[in-house]
Amino acid sequence: MEILKFITAGSVDDGKSTLIGRLLYDSDAILADQLEALHRSNRKNDDGSIDLAILTDGLKAEREQGITIDVAYKYFQTDKRKFIIADAPGHIQYTRNMVTGASNSNLAIILIDARKGVVEQTIRHSFLVSLLGLPQVVVCINKMDMVGYSEDTFNQIVTDYQVLAGKVNLANVTFIPVSALKGDNIVHSSDNMDWYGGKSLLDHLETVDITVDDTAAHARMPVQWVVRPQTEELHDYRGYAGRVVSGSFKVNDKVTVLPSGFSSTVTKIELLDKEFNEATAGMSVTVHLQDNIDISRGDILVSSNGKPEVSQLIEADLCWMDTRALDTSHTYFIQHNSKLTRCRIQEVLHKFNINTLEKVYDEEFKLNDIGRIIIKTADPLAFDLYQDNKANGGAIIIDSRTNVTVGALMFRAAVE
Amino acid sequence: MSKHQLDYLDELEAEAIHILREVAGQFERPALLFSGGKDSITLVRLAEKAFRPGKFPFPLVHIDTGHNFPETIQYRDEMVARLGEKLIIGHVQDSIDQGKVVEQKGKNASRNALQTVTLLDTIAHYEFDACIGGARRDEEKARAKERIFSVRDEFGQWDPKRQRPELWNIYNGKIHKGENVRVFPISNWTELDVWNYIRRENIALPSIYFAHQRDVITRNGQLMAAADFLNMDEEDVIERRTVRFRTVGDMTCTAAVASEAFEIDDIIDEISTSKISERGARMDDKVSEAAMEDRKKGGYF
């Protein structure tokens, strides 16, 4: 069985909480003690049915202050798949939350209110999903019960959305007409929309293709730790511990260590009492090489047949996540997989108005701003372009004064 | 182009190992909090995978309330001997003797809340900068919002409003002196995932997880093990029942469930069809709706 991680994008008014609640409730993912609390609640829908949005209710700190605190994770499973929902609520910090949730997801659900169609918020959500490179998008056109389950309304929104998808470069978009409140096409196929021949949302989530690229040319393993027991018996043991983030390594493969550039051959791949002929994307392993070269945390093992870029000057998209604006004169830390070094944002090329998709020429980079920048790093980074290989194409910026994560970077090009 | 997707247990395992190795790489004085429960036993197994044949780059730390199930302590000591790793024990009794905490009075008295003080003192004494714990996000809604690398201030407090964004598989472990990070490598596992992993890896557990005969009393609708530290009175009727423990904490706050699950397969069947959540058997969560959130803000893991 596989795990599908998805994010839901939409505001409270779009029925996002109700949709998640419905998905959990109708797939029997809610246990008796939680259900009891649900029935006990005073909050009910207008028709007296239980308000499923309660299932995504937040913390006391949130209720007291009327705020929402970033991403909550929810878990459920069916006979076919396991699911992790990154529920990213929030109005003020929406961009930051959604970027965080989307970075770890295979799929995004974008909610559209059938009465309103494609609105500014839809543009923003779609832009962010595209920026973070999510391979799959489901557009749920919700509140179909409020528009008389109209096929024409659905078709019009699909047409409008396809124009938007073209602009922001989203492929693999699936459209599903739903009513989260009434349960139409969430888990069970709806009797109210015979004109819709597609799958229910859950059915789609259970079957959508989420396999990852295992191309050997993209083999990348950032070294996290060197295993050196230094006992008498294991005097010469030297294993490089890390997670294969993309591609695959086989025993006898030629590999290069970056940024040093030394090459060697894989002699053994192991983990505790198991040995493997091949380590594929996602596996955590310990790798042995033929030659005794100086490798430490922060280095990366890559396939000698397909090397990443190595540069200290990189063009990247930046999402700013801190209340203190970007300071181009300040030296920050950058963390790219296991590599930590210092950096400076050398130049802001432009920002995006994420509601209109226009470029904006404004140097000031504030909370939730997104734009294209050039970054200079103290040590060279061995990276891939985010659009080619997400797993080795993203990094975070850490403020050296506060130690807080203040920015997310998606590498777009090495600057010559 | 070949395509491929890991099975869910392999994926969860690989993610947890990656997190453990990040702790090793990023911190100077990490520790693994070991409670003797199945989640921390799973962490130990994952640490073996992450670091063997080398030594663990951290000691195991047990905060001992003194009210443990004897089976748990026996398991702990045998496990440590087998692993050849260092164990540090922080005793809640010491915190009581030093007057730092006051033992609760009354029928439902428990040392569960007191252990936070002992934990914080132990962290301060050994200057731990990272503490690895077995908490999972599916347990409770405060945990559902906590980061995998969760920064605590020098008072151990969790501030949900000041959490760092956590993107991709990149974990920011940078902290100021005095702060520490709680790290939760099995955040994304569910209770059932843990059990399926224990079965797959053939990991031994303390016997109290399996159905056995035990003297219990019924309190607030929950079956509690009859133990000397439970302040019992004439209203408490001791019965011999076939029970098991679904979560293992302090004897005063962990309820048993009536169960005929003698083998791990039975337990997995039982949980798969269970309609009560795991923390439904934890008295410490019944105090209020925000009980866990409040304890976390006070330094609890």
CA of A226, closest CA in chain B: separation in Å?
9
Q: Which of A225-239, A269-283, B60-74 has the highest mean predicted lDDT (pLDDT)? A: A269-283
Domain with CATH 2.40.30.10 in chain A: 216-303, 309-414
Q: Does B3 touch chain A (CB under 8 A)?
A: yes
- C-alpha span between A378 and A331 (Å, rounded): 10
Lowest mean pLDDT among A24-33, A37-46, B58-67, B117-126: A37-46
Asked whether the beta carbons of residue A405 and residue B10 sit closer than 8 angstroms, the reply is no
CB B173 within 8 A of CB B181: yes
User: Mean pLDDT, to the nearest integer, of B74-90?
Assistant: 95
pLDDT of B220 = 79
Distance separating alpha carbons of residues A259 and A310, to the nearest angstrom: 7
Report the distance separating Cα A125 and Cα A107, nearest Å: 13
Mean pLDDT is lowest, of A138-142, A183-187, B108-112, for: B108-112
Model confidence at A117, pLDDT cuts 50, 70, 90, reads very high
- Rounded to the nearest integer, the mean pLDDT of chain B is 86
Looking up residue B173, the CATH number of its domain turns out to be 3.40.50.620
CATH number assigned to the domain with residue range A216-303, chosen from the 4 options 3.40.50.1000, 2.40.30.10, 3.20.20.70, 3.90.550.10: 2.40.30.10
Kindly state whether residue B156 falls inside one of the protein's structural domains: yes
Please answer yes or no on whether B22 and A74 come within 8 Å at the CB atom: no
Give the CA distances from residue B265 to residues A327, B204, B210, B260, B269, in Å, rounded to whole numbers and listed in that order: 57, 14, 11, 11, 6
Taking the C-alpha atoms of residue A31 and residue A252, their distance in angstroms, rounded to an integer, is 50
d(CA B173, CA B169): 13
Residue B1 is assigned to a structural domain of this protein: no
Indicate whether B287 pLDDT > 70. no
**Closest-CA distance of chain B to residue A145, Å:** 31
A window 154-193, beta carbon within 8 A of B: none
Q: Which tokens in the block code for residue A172?
A: 């693999």
The confidence band for A93, taking pLDDT boundaries of 50, 70 and 90, is low
Residues B157 and B229 occupy one common structural domain: no
The alpha-carbon radius of gyration of chain B (Å, integer) is: 19
Percentage of chain B exceeding pLDDT 70: 87
Mean pLDDT of B12-24: 98
Residue A344's H or E segment, with its range, is strand A339-353
Would you call A72 and B145 a contact, using CB atoms and an 8 Å cutoff? yes
Contact flag B174-A333 (C-beta cutoff 8 Å): yes
Cβ of B274 within 8 Å of Cβ of A337? The answer is no
According to DSSP, the β-strands at A107-113 and A136-142 are parallel
pLDDT, residue B254, reads: 82
B174 interfacial to chain A (CB closer than 8 Å): yes
pLDDT at residue B85, as a whole number: 96
**Of A201-205, B35-39, B240-244, B286-290, the least confident:** B286-290
Which of A100, A227, A242 lies closest to B51 in CB terms? A227
Q: Point out the residue among B2, B175, B294 whose CB comes nearest to the CB of A215.
A: B2
Buried-exposed string A88-106: b where 16+ CB fall within 10 A, e elsewhere: bbbeebbbbbbbbbbbbbb
Residues B41 and B144 reside in one and the same domain:
yes
User: Within an 8 Å CB–CB cutoff, is residue B154 touching chain A?
Assistant: no
Whether B208 and B71 have beta carbons less than 8 Å apart is answered as yes
- CB contacts of B277 in chain A (<8 Å) are 31, 33-34
- C-alpha span between A358 and A177 (Å, rounded): 30
pLDDT exceeding 90 applies to what percent of chain A? 69
pLDDT value at position A215?
A: 74
Average pLDDT over residues A60-65: 60
Interface test with B, best of A39, A55, A59, A210 (most B CBs within 10 A): A59
B-facing residues of A in 330-389 (CB < 8 A) are 333, 335-338
- Using one digit for the tens of pLDDT, what is the confidence trace for B217-243? 888 788 888 877 667 777 778 889 999
CATH of span A309-414:
2.40.30.10
Q: Read off the pLDDT band of B4 (50, 70, 90).
A: low
pLDDT, tens digit (0-9, with 9 covering 90-100), for B39-53: 999 999 999 999 999
If asked whether residues B151 and B62 sit together in one domain, one would say yes
Q: Is the pLDDT of residue B3 over 60?
A: no
B62 assigned to some structural domain: yes
Mean pLDDT throughout A138-159? 97
Angle of helix B8-26 versus helix B38-51 axis, rounded to 10: 70
With respect to residue B98, please indicate whether it lies within any of the assigned structural domains: yes
For residues A117-124, give the mean pLDDT.
89
B218 and B187 within one domain:
no
Which structure tokens are listed for A125? 């959500």
Q: Are residues B173 and B138 in the same domain?
A: yes
Mutate to test the interface with B, among A1, A2, A3 (most CBs of B within 10 A): A3
Would you say A135 and A106 are in contact if contact means Cβ atoms under 8 Å apart? yes
pLDDT at A63: 59
Q: What is the structure's pLDDT at B1?
A: 40
User: Is B197 part of any domain?
Assistant: no
Average pLDDT over residues B233-256: 83
For residue B294, the model assigns a pLDDT of 66
Domain co-membership, B147 together with B236: no
Contact: A390, B11; criterion CB under 8 Å: no
Alpha carbon distance A109, A408 (integer Å): 22
CATH 3.40.50.300, chain A: domain bounds: 2-207
Locate A60 and state its tokens: 């006391």
Q: Chain A residues with CB inside 8 Å of B3's CB? A: 211-214
Q: Which residues contact A242 (CB under 8 A, 6 or more apart)?
A: A221, A222, A223, A224, A225, A284, A285, A287, A301, A338, B18, B21
DSSP string, B207-264: GGGS-EEEEEEEETTEEEE--TTS---TTPPPEEEEEEESS---TTTBEEEE----SH
Residues 116 through 135 of chain A touching chain B, CB cutoff 8 Å? none
Q: Are B21 and B129 found together in one domain?
A: yes
Beta bridge mates, A345: A375
pLDDT at A70: 66
A404 — contact with chain B (CB < 8 Å)? yes
Q: Domain A2-207, what fold?
A: Rossmann fold (3.40.50)
Residues 254-313 of A with CB under 8 A from B: 271-272, 280-284, 297
With CB atoms and an 8 Å threshold, state whether A58 touches B137: no
pLDDT tens, residue by residue, A296-332: 999 999 999 999 999 999 999 999 999 999 999 999 9
Whether the bond into A308 is cis, omega within 30 of 0: no
* High-pLDDT (> 90) share of chain B, %: 48
Minimal C-alpha gap between B183 and chain A (Å)? 16
How large a percentage of chain A has pLDDT more than 70? Answer: 89
CB pairs under 8 A between A and B: 184
* Residue B124 confidence (pLDDT) above 50: yes
CA distance B65 to B88: 14
Domains identified in chain B, total number: 2
Specify whether B254 is located in the same domain as B171. Answer: no
If one compares B232 and B208, the residue with the highest pLDDT of the two is B208
B contacts of A103 (beta carbons < 8 Å): 167-168
Residues B186 and B217 reside in one and the same domain: no
Q: B256: domain range? A: 206-283
From A109-113, A118-122, A166-170, the region with the lowest mean pLDDT: A118-122
Give the mean pLDDT of chain A.
90
**Could you tell me which of B172, B180, B174 has the C-alpha nearest to residue B127?**
B180
State pLDDT tens for residues A271-297. 999 999 999 999 999 999 999 999 999
Contact: A338, B190; criterion CB under 8 Å: no
Cβ under 8 Å to B: A residues 203-222: 210-215
Residues in chain A: 416
- Taking the Cβ of residue A102 and every Cβ of chain B, the question of whether any pair is shorter than 8 Å is answered with no
Block residue for tokens 């069970």: A188
In the numeric block, which tokens belong to residue A90?
A: 């929030």
Burial B270-283 (b: 16+ CB within 10 A, else e): bbeebeebbbbbbb
